[in-house]
Structure 1
């Protein structure tokens, strides 16, 4: 009896992968075919839809996702400073008490 059980288990294990490779064949139609009037109406709807999409203006997307959360406008980047070698040293005016 144990030998029969062992053979049944081995057969089931071997048949699992083979069953997974079987193609899924459906011989029934999913839906009834459309009449020529229905096909023409669908083509007309698709054409009207595409024409409507062309009328929508392109919007420029913002790069700042948190832009609506700020209360003050974003700060502009500071102008680059001139290098120390090209600028003359500034002289101080006035006296200092030491």
Structure 2
């Protein structure tokens, strides 16, 4: 009885590992194209390349909201104020003084 249980456990444990094995076909059926199929592929490729060359280059603006805006785009924001040694952004020599 123990042997039968051991075999059943071994089969159940090996089933998931067997399912992960790749299905490799060592002798695939090799399909070669006939001359007519090769000619048809060449015609199709030439037609595809010709259709790609007919697409015009996009030279317009890439801003999709450009027609919605009434103002021209703003320039960059003002630069940040320089910081002093203490880390505050007030100018050295300003009229503000600390009260003690």
TM-score relative to the length of structure 1: 0.49
Tell which has more relative contact order, 1 or 2 (C-alpha 8 A, sep 6+).
2
Q: Higher helix share goes to which structure?
A: 1
TM-score relative to the length of structure 2: 0.48
